[in-house]
Each structure stands twice: as structure tokens, then as C-alpha cells.
Amino acid sequence: MNVIMGLKEQIDLLKLPEHIAIIMDGNGRWAKEKGKLRIFGHHNGVLSVRDVVEGATLLNLKYLTLYTFSSENWNRPKLEVMAIMELMVSTIHKEIKNFMEKNVRLMAIGDLNMLPEKAHRELNNAIEKTSGNTGLVLTLALSYSSRREIVSAAKSIAAKVQSGELAIEDIDEDTFENNLYTKGMPNPELLIRTSGEHRISNYLLWQIAYAELYFTSKLWPDFRKEDLYEAILDYQKRERRFGMTSEQVN
């Protein structure tokens, strides 16, 4: 039966994760394999982003969060950083129409003030234009560092304690969650990383506490919606126990 059913049709929509996070990795290696410059890989990575976003909307997925640029990525050669920023500006500009058609709401997390002014402006414009959309919430992690996010949450909480707005005894996990960039979003149940690397690279460290991890050797520019569906099917075969026994969960 499964042989003739498409991957998408095999997915149990009642057991769909609410939130999928992806570490898009391997653009540079993909380009190198083809004897091209790294930026060629990033350009092709955008095609994967478009296809995966479409795949997510076809499933009515609620949240998709993409690791687009880490705080550490600022240390790359200046030309590559500039090219990625340009690519981001042009992609976001072009995609707004598509987001509106597909009811996608764009959001961003990270130290956005670090972005070049033009990129920041284009991003804010798209965030505002799509803010009324009620379908997929597509979040770009940009200039993002999970440790920084956690430190920033700790600082906000400390400031509330200092001002008397919050008592130390009242600090709990919810307080912390409400001070992260991802406030109001469910935590990802599935984290996908491409390119064969088995690392988390400072991504959503708090939020993925119970996420299922899925690694594929595919390089990001080769990743398509069918690969997303395969990852979801793999996730659906797993038993999530949250520290309990198998008998308890079943």
C-alpha cells in the first residue's frame, strides 16, 4: 500500500508536530562539489526554503523555524556575509506576494539590530505586511544565538525582580519561556539538520529540550518538501515518552 501512496499521504495529520525547526546546513559544500562559489549554494538554498515552506503549508503545519544566520556567521568572510544579506533582502522582497497568497506569517528571532539597515527594514516590512496572516508562522532565526537568548531572558527576569514586579519565588519555567524570543510559540517537537553534521550549533537550546532530532546527509540545496515529509514520517514512528515508561505513554 505504502509503495503507491505518496509520502505526504502517508503522514498522519492527527499526529503532525505543531512546530518544526530546521538547521539548514551544507550550502557551501554543495557549491564546492560543483566547483562553484559558496554563494551559489546559498542561492540554491533559497529554492529549498521555498519548496519546504510550500510543503509545510500543504500540510497546514503551524510553525516552521529556520536557522538562517547565526551570531557566529558574522565571522565569515565579509563578502560572503554581504552576499547572504543581499540575498535575504531580495528573497524576502520577492516572497511577500507568495506569503500573502499562502497565508504565511513571517517572523524573526535573534539580535536583529545587528542586521544591516536595509535588511532590517525589508524584514520589518514583510513582518508587518504578513502580520494578519493566520496560516503557517515562518520564523527566521537571524543573527541568532541561543545562549544569548537565554542570557537576555535572565536579564529581563532579573530586571523585573529588581523593580519589584516579580518575586524570586514566582520564577518558574513559564516565566523563562515568556522571556525568550519565542514567547507564545509552542516548543519544536522535531528538529531537522541537513548535511550529515550531528550538532545543535547554539540553536533553540531551551526550546528543544524534548524535541526529536532528525539528521539527514542531504545538503540543504538538495532538500525538498519530500524530505520534510520523510522526516515527519520518521518522527511519527517514534515514541515520545517525556521521561515516562512506554506503558504509561500507551
Residue ranges binding ligand FPP (CB under 6 A): 24-29, 42, 45-46, 49, 66, 68-69, 73, 84, 87-88, 91-92, 140, 195, 220
Contact, 108 vs 140, CB < 8 A? yes
Q: How many CA atoms lie within 13 A of 70 on its CB side?
A: 17
Q: Which of 73, 103, 125, 133 is catalytic?
A: 73
DSSP conformational letter for 168 = G
Q: Which helix (H) or strand (E) holds 67?
A: strand 63-70
Residue 170 beta carbon to ligand FPP: minimum distance, rounded to whole angstroms: 38
Q: Which of 2, 12, 25, 98 is catalytic?
A: 25
Please say which residue, 88 or 153, places its beta carbon nearer to ligand FPP.
88
Residue 142 beta carbon to ligand FPP: minimum distance, rounded to whole angstroms: 9
Q: The dihedral of CA 51, 54, 59, 64: what is its sign? A: positive
Q: Give the whole-angstrom CA distance, residue 23 versus residue 33.
A: 20
- In single-letter form, the type of residue at position 179 comes to N
Task: Name the residue with the smallest CB distance to ligand FPP.
Answer: 28
Q: Give the whole-angstrom CA distance, residue 103 versus residue 57.
A: 9
Please say which residue, 140 or 153, places its beta carbon nearer to ligand FPP.
140
Residue 16 beta carbon to ligand FPP: minimum distance, rounded to whole angstroms: 22
Q: How many CA atoms lie within 13 A of 76 on its CB side?
A: 17
Largest CA distance in the chain: 63
Residue 25: active-site member: yes
Please say which residue, 72 or 170, places its beta carbon nearer to ligand FPP.
72
Q: Give the whole-angstrom CA distance, residue 235 versus residue 213.
A: 8
Residue 175 beta carbon to ligand FPP: minimum distance, rounded to whole angstroms: 31
Contact, 219 vs 26, CB < 8 A? yes
Checking DSSP bridges between strand 63-70 and strand 212-215, what pairing results, if any?
unpaired
Please say which residue, 27 or 207, places its beta carbon nearer to ligand FPP.
27
Residue 74 beta carbon to ligand FPP: minimum distance, rounded to whole angstroms: 11
Please say which residue, 23 or 185, places its beta carbon nearer to ligand FPP.
23
Residues annotated catalytic, as ranges: 25, 73
